[in-house]
Structure 1
Amino acid sequence: MVDVLKKEHLTEIDVPAFLDETIRLGVKTLPYARFLNAEEEQEQIKKDERTRNGTPGIGIIFETQPDGLHIIDVVPDAPAALGGVRTGDLVVAMDGNSLIGASNTDIAKYAGGDVGVPLKLTLLRGAKRQRLEFALVRALIKPRPATAKRLPGDVLYTRMDNFPEPAIGDYIDAVQAERKKGAPIKGVILDLRINGGGALNASIGITALFSGRNQTAMVTLQRDDKTQHRISTNWPDYDLPVMKGQDPLAPLQADDWWRNVPLIVLVDGQSASAAEATAAALKDLGRAKLLGTPTYGKGMAQTGTGTRDGTYVVWTYARNLRPNGCPMEGYGVVPDWIVLPRKDADMDGVLLGYREVDIPRAAYASKLTPDPFADVRKERQRLRDQRALAKLDASKSTPLPQKEFASDKDWQLKQALNALAGKPVQVTQVNPRFMPAQPACIKLNN
């Protein structure tokens, strides 16, 4: 076909570029696979380095809305925090460029810049929309996926936004800083809601941190569905380049607090991949109770390889099994306590939120292996269509936004605090047909 096009096409064809794009279009239809050309691969390498070492910026975490950037968090000790920017501020301009209705591409262009280069923010504050101007100088902002704060009753609320390579060390630092501030911590809440995952080894490290050595954190099941690979909580099963060969958990082995402190993990339908693997492992190992709603259900592992021409291909090579031998792909992890994200939430609508099980199978997938979720997918869509015709209030089934986590509106956190205090947890009774099916689990090799 390429030879025909080279000879017969009206114009000359850039064959390498043509083949790159052909491969890209085919690969993107496979689950979690992707193709990077040589230029994109170099940019990805740079991006990974920035994730490990830091990115120039001012240290704000925001949600993009039509009226500007709503700041939901400010990185401590970063230029924005030191300059007086607060959570809840609304950024409407950067360097005089309006952010009202701006695209993510525009925002990235305005916000980008090197360390030491100033950035002028125009923002509105409070109910009266007080207009303020800030001149901030960009600094190297290192990734801080973990936060921790002490709650009444000496309970430590900890949150992980994702699982980048530095996640383990960052989480340990955040927790240890709060432990030093007062009385002994009596319980920990690990919030993995709206956590889409990241580096799987970072997930294994967090599991090892709380469960200790010599445990099975996960088992991968490869193409023939017979080859099992056990991933343990022992070093170096959670090694990552950022660690430079040093086990970050080694200094904590004498501190039994990590293995004994009561632990509750918060999850929701957007807890995916490494996040739900962490939750599943801590639950199956008997180390934590889970509270919230069923997780997303991404239970597949990816790998990749480079080619001689500098391109890079990523593909799915294995299924991830929980320590109890159950798959997560399409099923997710069901919490011990099923709790509404809001006190008045529509749980049926919450459970019909988009998950792994809703992703259509590639049209050319093997016909020899039946699609285990075909009927489930059709039924979930039928129920969604039924609800749309009934014109139900969709706002009551939306996920709790991150800016409301750990606030008075966080119903799931309130129930987690009740559980740690030995008080009743207000769970939700759900219709079984809205829940994930029971997975077929296998016996793991010793």
Structure 2
Amino acid sequence: MQHLKKYLSVLLVFLFVTQTTTLASAAEPIDEARDIIRKYYVEDVPDSVLNKPTIKEITRHLDPYSVYMTAEEFNEFTNAIENQFVGIGVMLEEDPKGVKILAVYPGSPAERAGIQTGDVITNINGQSLAGESVQTAISYLSREEKTSVTLTYERPVTGQSFTQTLVREVIQLQNVEYEMLGGNIGYVRLNSFSLDSAKDISAAIQKLKGAKGWIFDLRDNGGGYVSAAQEVAGFFPNVTKAFQLRDKTNKPHVFNVIPQSVKFTAPVHILVNAYSASASEMVSASVKEQKGAVLYGQNSFGKGSMQSFFPLSDESVLKLTTAKFFSPKGVPVHEVGVAPNVKTAEGEELLVSHRDQLVATIRGYKKLPALQNVPVTKTFTIKMNMKMNWTGITASDVQLIQLGGKEVPVDVKAIDEKTIKVTPKQNLQSKGKYLLIVHPKWKAENSRQMKQGIYVDVTAM
């Protein structure tokens, strides 16, 4: 572990001060790589592998995340973590046939071409990707802005194959997205664990001041820097430990979070899915274990390994798995993933979480039978079981909130002594899910105050 700690300090100098340095003193890059792998790879590597004639051949016999990169490939890799790159706008992972698309970014050339999540790119500009790394695929896709790239890709769900030519663009992603959802539930999405993640999350929390609950979205987040994960874990209440790390000695070392000056206030939910990986799992496992948040979604990806970057003398870089991480108490993540507290259907994570957050703010309200398949032009009629004094009735007494979205403005009008009509000022979204809440702000005709509010789940046709 001492060797690893020493190396990490060198890594920070290389990455952030751009001082070129190497750990090995051998004359040739392949000899440097062999020495580094012997010392730092998470497992012992036999000489039969180390004696392969090229670095790429050696890394092919290591785990899938250990990769040899040219200086250009390394630059593209770090740019991707920072959410700025030239390409077609996709997130990738290795696949036996090539590279699988984990996400397609909105407004990108890939989206405009109709490429979908789950498609597998098998060929780029006539070059087969079978057995190649994600970094190799990225190097083919990146190149210069406004140049063309021809892809052949398969769609496993239909068995179709496509070949298309796309034009590369500069893709600049917003790393932290945030908004106040209906009912004053703060929503913050982190797309990558970049160097500025903590700063951007802190700004989002402060701009969403007054939130009654929080949803932190790590779906499709493939990870990033370990230090960023330590910082992000520091935003959650009651969370002090970030992760447990074990290098090739298999000795456990627990690392603390990096405390933040602002924090999420309970209740907090974290959204995860099958593509939440690496640093996302590091944070999720830690926060779940220390009860800093409740996880919603599906089991995460299961990449519980940490990679370090070793610069070689020819300016190429060896990305090497140097440790595996666990929850602070030692619960495995690698090839297991992190299980959510509340399992949801794929694509329903935000809706279920938002609903639960809303219901938590109206404890004691009575739940009425759900309304299914209502017309998008639906007008709601609410009838009380006694005569009411509707004087002073306002639209704020009734809330219609789209789950995963905003509050829908409504008009509220008394029809008779027992009945009011609630009319949305805009059509409901087809297949949209809503929560209709009636707050106990009115009095009966005998001046008795309503004691219990009501709520009902609504699904549009």
TM-score, structure 2 as length reference: 0.49
- Contact kept in structure 2, 1:62 and 1:73, CA below 8 Å: no
Say if 1:202 and 1:57 are closer, same or farther in 2 by CA, change over 3 A.
same
Superposition pairs of residues 17-166 of structure 1, within 5 angstroms: 22-36=54-68, 40-47=69-76, 50-51=79-80, 55=84, 73=106, 90=112, 143-166=173-196
Structure with more of its chain in helix, by fraction = 1
* Code of the aligned partner of 1:30: L
Q: Which residue matches 1:403?
A: none
Give the root-mean-square deviation of aligned CA atoms.
4.3
**Count of residue pairs the alignment pairs up:** 271
Secondary structure at 1:73's aligned position in 2? coil
Higher strand residue share = 2
Distance change >3 Å, CA 105–CA 231, structure 1 → 2: farther
Alignment of 1:413 onto 2:350: yes
Q: Distance in 1 between matches of 2:231 and 2:111?
A: 35
**Is 1:216 aligned to 2:241, yes or no?**
yes
- Residue ranges of structure 2 left out of the alignment (5+ in a row): 1-28, 32-50, 93-102, 115-120, 127-136, 149-168, 364-461
Q: Is the Cα–Cα contact under 8 Å of residues 211 and 285 in structure 1 kept in the other structure?
A: no
Letter in 1 for 2:219: R
User: In 1, distance between residues paired with 2:88 and 2:200?
Assistant: 16
CA contact (8 A) 2:52 2:58 kept: no
- The answer to whether the 8 Å contact 1:32/1:316 transfers is no
Which one-letter code corresponds to 2:299 in the other structure? Answer: P
Indicate the residue corresponding to 2:318 in structure 1: 313
Shift of 1:103: 7.0
Q: In structure 1, the residue corresponding to 2:229 is in which secondary structure?
A: helix
Q: Is the 8 A contact 2:85 2:142 kept in 1?
A: no
- Runs ≥4 residues deviating over 4 A: 51-63, 101-114
In structure 1, give the amino acid aligned to 2:193. Answer: F
- Whether contact under 8 Å (1:188, 1:262) holds in the other structure is yes
Q: Relative to structure 1, is the Cα distance of residues 333 and 312 closer, same or farther in structure 2, using a 3 angstrom cutoff?
A: same
1:262 aligns with 2:262: no
Establish whether residue 196 from structure 1 lines up as the match of residue 222 from structure 2.
Answer: yes
Alignment of 1:209-248 (within 5 A): 209-211=235-237, 215-225=240-250, 227-234=251-258
Asked if the contact 1:52/1:143 (under 8 Å) is kept, the reply is no
Following the alignment from structure 1 to structure 2, what is the Cα–Cα distance between the partners of residues 154 and 166? 26
Distance 1:307 1:46, change over 3 A: closer
Letter in 2 for 1:24: K
Give the superposition deviation at 1:166.
2.9
Q: 2:353 is paired with a residue of what secondary structure?
A: helix
Change over 3 Å in CA distance of 1:172–1:112 after alignment to 2:
farther
Instruction: Provide the C-alpha distance between the structure 2 equivalents of 1:263 and 1:272, rounded to a whole number of angstroms.
Output: 20
Contact 1:32 1:315 in 2 (8 A): no
Q: Which has the larger radius of gyration?
A: 2
CA distances 1:80-115 after superposition (whole Å, capped 9, x unpaired) = 9xxxx9xx98458xxxxxxxx99766999999656x
Specify whether residues 300 and 149 from structure 1 end up closer, same or farther in structure 2 by C-alpha distance, changes over 3 A only: same
Amino acid of the structure 2 residue aligned with 1:193? R
Q: Is the 8 A contact 2:82 2:192 kept in 1?
A: no
Query: Residue 243 of structure 2 contacts residue 327 of structure 2 at CA under 8 Å; is this kept in 1?
Result: yes
Residue segments in structure 1 that go unaligned for 5+ positions in a row: 1-14, 64-69, 75-79, 93-100, 120-137, 236-248, 342-409, 425-446
**In 2, distance between residues paired with 1:229 and 1:415?**
36
State the Cα deviation string for residues 297-326 of structure 1 (Å, max 9, x = none). 111122232333444323222220102221
2:336 maps to 1:331 = yes
Residue 202 of structure 2 aligns to a residue whose secondary structure is helix
Q: How does 1:3-18 map to 2 (within 5 A)?
A: none
Cα deviation 1:374-414 (Å, max 9, x = unaligned): xxxxxxxxxxxxxxxxxxxxxxxxxxxxxxxxxxxx42222
